[in-house]
């Protein structure tokens, strides 16, 4: 017993001593993550936006189900009204730990994943399997392949959810502090508005419905004051629409002018704005009033740091 006591005493004497803020000592090592600050959360837009716009669901009741001993499949014939990039998600109920699923839309590469057990708090949220690019309007075959049965109490498919997706990730803040939000990295919550990939366009176009809008989600590494610049084009006879740029909780409005054509780009400087939060920020462009056949085409948005 005496030797055990002497051993414990020696160990305690040799433990490193850490001094607290008030001069007290402790044998507890410092928290290695204690110096990391939590990123703040950017404020919401001042205007209400509809992030369900442009989304649609292929309901299970509209598909054909084919059971199998080792796999089952669902088949739909989808009529697409707006081409572009979409997130594809599975809506389902399951008490199984996980079930393998594959989704194939048209000639796109199948999206593969595992569908975990669901619960009452998240059943209304689709399991996003990935994104698919659909290059034209018209009909597309959609097939969902699942392991074993998928129309039984243990696992029930409810439908396939499609929602607009950006066609590339934002560039993020560059080393000189500038932030480029190009058309390709926007999500168009829209029934007509979409990214136009032709080299002579490379813009957001088909903005013929006032309710359509676009949003960029981007990271800020060096917050501060920025000059807000929008590059857009508008043809003769469509000028006069009123547009708002929503940047977190800041709103800047301007009237669209005739630039000589929808792909004749005009640079409009909208003053300075503040990006106060390090991390995720959001910028949207919405229409307040529409004049003419279309509102405008959007080439890009720039945020340049103010010295």
268-273 long-range Cβ contacts below 8 angstroms, 24+ apart: 268/229, 268/230, 268/231, 268/232, 269/227, 269/228, 269/229, 270/228, 270/229, 270/230, 270/245, 271/227, 271/228, 272/225, 272/226, 272/227, 272/228, 272/306, 273/225, 273/226, 273/227, 273/228, 273/247, 273/303
pLDDT along the chain (307 residues), means of 10: 46 42 54 57 94 97 88 94 96 89 94 89 81 96 88 89 94 94 97 95 97 97 97 96 98 98 96 96 98 96 96
Give the tokens for residue 201.
Answer: 């366009």
Strands of 111-116's sheet in order across: 64-66, 71-80, 138-147, 98-105, 111-116
173 burial level (CB within 10 Å; 0-12, 13-18, 19+):
buried
pLDDT at 85: 96
pTM (2 d.p.): 0.83
Residue 106: how many CB atoms within 10 A of its CB?
17
Residue 107: how many CB atoms within 10 A of its CB?
9
pLDDT at 35: 53
Give the tokens for residue 257.
Answer: 């002018």
pLDDT at 29: 64
Structural domains in the chain, CATH included, are 56-164 (2.60.120.260), 179-305 (2.60.120.260)
Instruction: Return d(Cα 211, Cα 207) in angstroms, integer.
Output: 9
| Pair 218, 255: CB distance under 8 Å | no
pLDDT at 305: 97
């Amino acid at each position: 017993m005496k030797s055990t006591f002497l051993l414990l005493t020696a160990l305690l004497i040799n433990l490193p001593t850490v001094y607290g803020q008030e001069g007290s000592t402790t044998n507890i090592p410092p928290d290695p993550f204690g110096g990391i600050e939590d990123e703040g959360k950017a404020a919401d837009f001042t205007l209400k936006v509809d992030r369900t716009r442009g989304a649609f669901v292929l309901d299970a009741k509209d598909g054909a189900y084919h059971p199998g001993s080792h796999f089952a499949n669902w088949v739909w014939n989808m009529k697409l009204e707006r081409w572009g990039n979409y997130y594809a998600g599975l809506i389902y109920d399951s008490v199984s730990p996980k079930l393998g699923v594959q989704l194939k839309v048209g000639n796109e590469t199948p999206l593969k994943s595992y569908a975990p057990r669901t619960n009452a708090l998240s059943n209304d949220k689709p399991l996003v399997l990935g994104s698919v690019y659909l290059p034209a309007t018209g009909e597309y075959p959609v097939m969902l392949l699942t392991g074993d049965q998928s129309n039984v109490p243990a696992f029930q498919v409810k439908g396939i959810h499609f929602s607009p997706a950006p066609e590339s990730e934002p560039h993020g803040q560059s080393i000189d502090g500038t932030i480029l939000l190009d058309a390709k990295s926007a999500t168009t919550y829209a029934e007509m508005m979409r990214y136009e990939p032709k080299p002579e366009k490379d813009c957001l176009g088909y903005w013929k419905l006032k309710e359509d809008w676009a949003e960029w989600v981007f990271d800020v590494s060096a917050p501060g004051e920025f000059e807000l610049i929008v590059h857009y084009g508008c043809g003769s006879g469509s000028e006069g629409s009123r547009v708002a740029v929503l940047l977190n909780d800041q709103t800047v409005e301007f009237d669209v002018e005739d630039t000589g054509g929808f792909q004749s780009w005009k640079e409009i400087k909208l003053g300075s704005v503040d990006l106060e939060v390090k991390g995720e920020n959001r910028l949207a462009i919405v229409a307040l009033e529409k004049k003419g056949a279309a509102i405008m085409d959007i080439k890009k948005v720039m945020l340049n740091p103010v010295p």
